[in-house]
């Protein structure tokens, strides 16, 4: 499938050759592509007169272009502002199928570590109208504890109760990617309509918009539009707003208007309950001593609990028989107590570059601008502090000599002693982003 931007550019060029550049400039300058597939092209134009011209004088040429250039027979729709609401309703019903049906409130195991977050999420989902003190709802905590599960559970509950609600789920990184594509292709109206027309907006890993000026600006307006219209906003993050150093103050303030709640690693009793729930849903019988063995070793990540049960299920499915401790010991022999995972050098470099909006090639180049130099020195410091790499190892990773690495790491240490340098906040954000990827 060709990209929408490529297809539209080729169509416009085809039209210019047959209907003149003046015609295309006059009647297509505010047209945007809402949808492109193998059998359908949906355009948007705010002008009724231009929509009529496109439909009556250009439709045949657009269809010919699709046939000649891409060998596709398509139907063409040209929508205006009054058509968008009905169009979005149709699209939402298809989009909702993307939610994982296994992630519901019924399958979420509640314990002391997540009880309040679960209650807040359920309150948002069942409220007849937005409860101000719960809007927005921000759920934060380390990866693997069920934050996304709660987002999907909210979506499932709202969809059951309000089938026509426009539920939009997005990861913060995807929001940024879509915004860049919309700006590049001139489709910002469709982008804004997608998010600002939501009845329920669910945003995963909101911390990743911090430090991205254009993304924060766009999300600020999206947030305001939804909040002022009493639409529900639920976000997840790996840390509370006050710990997102690069998050704009106006967003940090708005995130605090509603309710912020934490999810912590599950206690022993909750881990046992989660394991029993997974085993029951997987249809496997697991002895209590096996549950105890897993729960005592996996203490911080719910995903690893599920993974252990899935391994046992796979073995029973392939080999037959039942699960006993001998089989558990064999299948889970490499199961070790949770401990802090270490990032790879490439992950550290990638996250530093993402934080400073740089290409890795630029970081490793001879570019000596202030921002690139700081990013390079931060990478050196983190490679040393997080991994304990030696000066030669850091130099080899970044293509620098011994003296440069010594100077770079010491420069960051000196900056940390200056309370107003801001480097401490940068390091905290980057480190948190790295840990969130482990």
pLDDT at residue 223 above 90? Answer: yes
Q: Are residues 241 and 280 in the same domain?
A: no
101 inside domain: no
396 domain residue, yes or no: yes
Q: What distance in Å separates the CA atoms of residue 34 and residue 291, rounded to the nearest whole number?
A: 50
In this prediction, residue 99 has a pLDDT band, given cuts at 50, 70 and 90, of low
Q: Are 337 and 321 in contact (CB under 8 A)?
A: no
- Count of C-beta atoms within a 10 Å radius of residue 416: 13
3-state secondary structure of 146: coil
Task: Please indicate, yes or no, whether residues 184 and 253 belong to a single structural domain of this protein.
Answer: yes
Q: Do residues 171 and 50 share a domain?
A: no
Shared-domain flag, residues 203 and 149: yes
The pLDDT assigned to 143 comes to 79
The model's confidence at residue 335, banded by pLDDT at 50, 70 and 90, is low
pLDDT at 1 over 50: no
Mean pLDDT over 290-314 rounds to 78
Same domain? For 354 and 314 the reply is: no
Asked if residue 235 has pLDDT above 90, the reply is yes
Predicted local confidence at residue 192, as pLDDT: 86
Give CA–CA dist 137/124, Å, rounded: 8
Q: What number of helices (H) and strands (E) belong to the chain? A: 21, 8
Chain segment 336-362, per-residue pLDDT in tens: 555 555 678 888 998 899 888 888 889
* Integer Rg of the chain from CA: 26
The pairing of strands 259-262 and 137-140 is parallel
Q: Are residues 375 and 409 in the same domain?
A: yes
The CATH number of whichever domain residue 47 belongs to comes to 3.30.300.180
CA dist 360 and 354 (Å) reads 9
pLDDT, averaged across the chain: 83
Specify whether 384 is located in the same domain as 429.
yes
User: Strand 137-140 relative to strand 32-36: parallel, antiparallel, unpaired?
Assistant: unpaired
Name the strand (E) or helix (H) holding 139: strand 137-140
Q: Looking at 244, 262, 280, which one is the last position of a domain?
A: 262
100 is a domain residue: no
- Domain of 364 in residue numbering reads as 345-436
Mean pLDDT of 308-325: 77
pLDDT at 341: 59
Q: Name the band, by pLDDT with cuts 50, 70 and 90, for residue 97.
A: very low
Residues 125 and 251 both lie in one domain: yes
pLDDT band at 131 (very low <50, low <70, confident <90, very high): low
DSSP string, 179-209: HHHHHHHT-HHHHHHHHHT-SEEEEE-GGGG
The total number of residues shown for the chain amounts to: 438
In a domain, 70, yes or no: yes
Q: What are phi and psi for residue 36, nearest 5 degrees? A: -140, 125
The CATH number assigned to the domain holding 295 equals 1.10.8.60
Assess whether pLDDT exceeds 90 at residue 380: yes
Residue 138 has pLDDT above 90, yes or no: yes
Q: Stretch 284-310: mean pLDDT, rounded?
A: 79
Task: Name the pLDDT band for 4 (thresholds 50, 70, 90).
Answer: low
Query: Is 375 among the domain residues?
Result: yes
User: What confidence tier does 250 reach under pLDDT thresholds 50, 70, 90?
Assistant: very high
Tens digits of per-residue pLDDT, 177-213? Answer: 889 888 888 878 888 888 888 889 999 999 888 888 8
Output the pLDDT for position 61.
Answer: 93
Evaluate whether residue 105 is within a structural domain: no
Is residue 130 located within the same domain as residue 213? Answer: yes
At 409, which CATH number? 1.10.1750.10
Looking at 89-93, 159-163, 323-327, 330-334, which range is the least confident one? 89-93
Span 43-70, pLDDT tens digits: 888 888 889 999 999 999 999 999 888 8
**How confident is the model at residue 190, as a pLDDT?**
81
Partnered with residue 76 across adjacent β-strands are: 41
Structure confidence at residue 336 (pLDDT): 55
What φ, ψ does residue 295 adopt, rounded to 5°?
-65, -30
Residues 120 and 253 in one domain: yes
- Which of 233, 262, 291 corresponds to the end of one domain? 262
Q: Count the domains in the chain.
A: 4
């Amino acid at each position: 499938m060709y990209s929408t931007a490529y297809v539209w550019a080729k169509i416009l060029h085809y039209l210019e050759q047959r209907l003149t550049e003046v015609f295309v400039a006059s009647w297509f300058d505010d047209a945007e592509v809402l949808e492109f597939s193998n059998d359908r092209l949906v355009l948007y134009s705010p002008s009724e007169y231009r929509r009529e011209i496109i439909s009556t004088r250009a439709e045949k040429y657009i269809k010919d272009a699709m046939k000649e250039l891409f060998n596709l027979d398509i139907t063409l729709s040209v929508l205006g502002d009054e058509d968008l609401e009905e169009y979005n309703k149709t699209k939402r019903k298809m989009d909702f199928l993307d939610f994982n049906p296994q992630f519901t409130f019924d399958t979420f195991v509640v314990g002391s570590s997540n009880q309040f977050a679960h209650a807040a999420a359920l309150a948002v989902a069942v409220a007849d109208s937005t409860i101000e003190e719960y809007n927005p709802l921000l759920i934060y905590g380390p990866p693997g504890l069920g934050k996304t599960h709660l987002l999907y559970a909210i979506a499932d509950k709202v969809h059951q109760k309000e089938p026509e609600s426009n539920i939009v789920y997005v990861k913060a990184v995807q929001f940024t990617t879509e915004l860049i594509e919309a700006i590049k292709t001139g489709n910002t109206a469709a982008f804004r309509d997608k998010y600002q027309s939501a009845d329920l907006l669910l945003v995963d890993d909101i911390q990743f918009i911090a430090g991205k000026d254009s993304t924060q600006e766009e999300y600020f307006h999206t947030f305001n539009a939804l909040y002022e219209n009493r639409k529900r906003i639920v976000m997840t993050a790996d840390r509370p707003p006050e710990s997102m150093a690069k998050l704009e103050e106006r967003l940090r303030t708005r995130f605090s208007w509603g309710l912020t709640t934490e999810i912590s690693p599950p206690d022993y009793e909750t881990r046992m309950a989660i394991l029993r729930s997974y085993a029951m849903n997987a249809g496997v019988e697991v002895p209590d001593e096996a549950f105890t063995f897993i729960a005592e070793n996996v203490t911080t990540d719910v995903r690893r609990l599920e993974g252990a049960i899935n391994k046992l299920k796979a073995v029973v499915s392939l080999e037959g028989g039942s699960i006993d401790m001998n089989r558990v010991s064999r299948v889970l022999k490499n199961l070790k107590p949770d401990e802090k995972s270490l990032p790879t050098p490439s992950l550290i470099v990638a996250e530093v570059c993402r934080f400073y909006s740089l290409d890795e090639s630029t970081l490793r180049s001879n570019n000596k601008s202030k921002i690139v130099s700081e990013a390079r020195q931060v990478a050196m410091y983190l490679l040393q502090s997080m991994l304990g790499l030696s000066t030669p190892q850091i130099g080899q990773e970044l293509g620098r000599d011994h003296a440069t690495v010594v100077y770079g790491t010491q420069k960051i240490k000196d900056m940390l002693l200056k309370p107003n340098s801001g480097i401490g906040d940068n390091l905290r954000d980057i480190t948190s982003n790295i840990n969130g990827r482990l």
